[in-house]
Structure 1
Amino acid sequence: LKRVLDRFRAPVRFAFAYGSGVFRQRGYNYFGKAGEGSAGSEVSQRPYTPPLVDLIFAVSHPAHWHSVNLQQHPEHYGGIVSRLGSSAVTTVQEQFGAGVWFNPFVMIEGMASRVKYGVVSVDTLCRDLLEWETIYLAGRMQKPLRIIKDDYRIRLANRVNRLHAVRAALLLLPGRFTAEDLFMTVAGLSFTGDFRMQLGGENPDKVANIVRAQMEYFKKLYAPIIHRL
């Protein structure tokens, strides 16, 4: 994954990969064979396609970043968007939603899977990590992720984010609970207000699938925080 950044001339301060394309989740058919599901199940019968690899790039100056990237990779943006230019892309990114611009279903040289990458300003990312302004990226960074390029400011902000996540989970849990209960609550925080979970647009077992397949990652992430409480 570190080689992905070599394909971009635009400077990236911090980058990470997350999701089912990087970490195992139950219910995904990773090898085109029956896996977590039983033989003949819906999962085992689906035609195999490699999971999309999800990436987030935090950049210092989004307008400059998109300007450079539009010159190098106009195909990542699509015909209409690429003609609008970096100012329009940056305006949409910063004025709507969670402050992230996504380029989905991108083919990058050297990658076996398609990629979806999001671009966010460092300031917007840190604000969400510290204040849960939208908890869109903060929620993703409460779960296991793979750092591609690190940044000290963002790393410190994410420590605060994960501490807040544990404290919020403890307020929601009963007096006695298991490690799995704790991690399920932490992982579920970002889905609490997700309308897709309410409307059936997201797998209702998604949180359990994430935690049970990645329990050791959660323990490694949160053990230092729990011991300090």
Structure 2
Amino acid sequence: MANSALVSVVPPLFERILSIFPRQYIRFCFAYGSGVFRQGGVSMGKPMIDLIFCVNNSVGFHKENIATNPSHYSALKHLGPYCISFIQEKLPANVYFNTLVPLKEVDVVIKYGVVLESDLINDLLDWNSLYLSGRMHKPIKILEKPGDELDMPLRQNLFSALHTAFLLLPEVFSERELYHTIADFSYRGDFRMRFGEDKNKINNILDKQLLKFRKLYKPYLKTLTDYVDLPAEDEVDKPMMQDMSTATRIYHLFQLPTLPQKELVKYWRAHGGRRRGDAEDVLQDLAVTTKLSKMLEHCLSKIVLKSSIQQSLKGILTAGIFKSIQYSNKKIDKMKKSRVQAQT
């Protein structure tokens, strides 16, 4: 079963939303973002609800969904479910989004992405794009509980987030700094943070969701007490201290997902490090360099930059020009209001 810290009771609103879709194909579903959890910062009226449907059959899901909810799709629906599924599974990030979808039945606007279960598992374990795995480093509301196939990858994704954060953080850090570092993974390098996202997004998330982060990561932190000293339950403001020994750094490096590991090895070899020897030797070299955190930041940014650009271009195709412009304008308005608020 999935981690109980992740699972919540599904409110009636979300049950009604789920009932609109071909539920027999959905293996896992979660909602995320400001439409689900309160955030600090600028109020933009009623926020859009973001959903991810993890399915066991993309063609089957889209075939029935196009028949039932044709208005959700752009003109691509006329090419049929096989084409939609090809775009979803073969183009980068492996997600197909329908955005700015009004559901008059429940008086909300939603954006939802569809991902094949095997593709989600790969991103959770390997951080191939950090697109969905990065969103799941933050609190989410589970609407359809995951099965056994997803249980281990979901857990591993959170462990990977902690190991990565420890390599980026100094010896002593606060609980908020830990969660800020983790929340930043999926935004680090995202070109939309320059042009269309709220610059205070991470702080806005933490301002209202710190307790949810604590609940999410507490079970995993408790298993890592050989590597980090945790404050007592009642010592909320007491800082954490981590072991910075070479052996511990090596341990964290070996726990990184596949793609960040590969990118680190490639970067090290390209910038004067060991050119021969296997990846294990390189990771051991990296454990003693003072530049490790900067190098890891660079590698994470590279992964996110690539996937954010590719998914945005894909979004123009899947949403259509009109909705893409409409969606971008909403993001830009939010960014402008955030800047004005920060200056006052």
Match of 1:81 among 51, 76, 80: 76
1:66-90 per-residue CA deviation (whole Å, 9 max, x = no partner) reads: 1111111111103x21211111111
1:194 aligns with 2:190: yes
In 2: Cα distance, 1:71 partner to 1:28 partner: 38
Residue matched to 1:64: 60
Residue matched to 1:176: 172
1:83-130 per-residue CA deviation (whole Å, 9 max, x = no partner) reads: 111111111111212000011111225433201010000000011001
Match of 2:41 among 5, 27, 48: 27
In 1: Cα distance, 2:42 partner to 2:57 partner: 36
In 1: Cα distance, 2:155 partner to 2:84 partner: 30
Q: CA RMSD in A?
A: 1.3
Which stretch of the first structure deviates more once superposed, 62-71 or 103-112?
103-112
Residue matched to 2:135: 140
3-state secondary structure, aligned to 1:98: helix
3-state secondary structure, aligned to 2:52: strand
**Structure with greater helix share of residues:** 2
- Structure 2 matches for 1:86-165, cutoff 5 A? 86-152=81-147, 153-165=149-161
Deviation at residue 193 of structure 1 after TM alignment: 2.1
Match of 1:166 among 162, 167, 182: 162
1:38-83 per-residue CA deviation (whole Å, 9 max, x = no partner) reads: xxxxxxxxxx5310000000000101111111111111103x2121
Computing the radius of gyration over CA atoms, which structure comes out larger, 1 or 2?
2
Residue matched to 1:4: 17
In 1: Cα distance, 2:178 partner to 2:22 partner: 41
Q: Match of 1:181, as an amino acid?
A: E
In 1: Cα distance, 2:114 partner to 2:57 partner: 10
In 2: Cα distance, 1:227 partner to 1:115 partner: 36
In 2: Cα distance, 1:89 partner to 1:115 partner: 19
Residue matched to 1:32: none
3-state secondary structure, aligned to 2:125: helix
The 8 Å contact of residues 56 and 117 in structure 2, kept in 1 or not, is answered as yes
The 8 Å contact of residues 41 and 200 in structure 2, kept in 1 or not, is answered as no
Q: State the TM-score, normalizing by the size of structure 2.
A: 0.59
In 2: Cα distance, 1:91 partner to 1:228 partner: 41
1:214 aligns with 2:209: yes
In 2: Cα distance, 1:127 partner to 1:210 partner: 26
In 2: Cα distance, 1:155 partner to 1:19 partner: 22
3-state secondary structure, aligned to 2:26: coil
Structure 2 unaligned spans of 5+? 1-13, 225-344
Q: State the TM-score, normalizing by the size of structure 1.
A: 0.87
The 8 Å contact of residues 184 and 208 in structure 1, kept in 2 or not, is answered as yes
The 8 Å contact of residues 16 and 106 in structure 2, kept in 1 or not, is answered as no
In 2: Cα distance, 1:202 partner to 1:179 partner: 25
The 8 Å contact of residues 125 and 137 in structure 1, kept in 2 or not, is answered as yes
In 2: Cα distance, 1:49 partner to 1:185 partner: 28
Structure 1 unaligned spans of 5+? 30-47
How many residue pairs match? The answer is 209
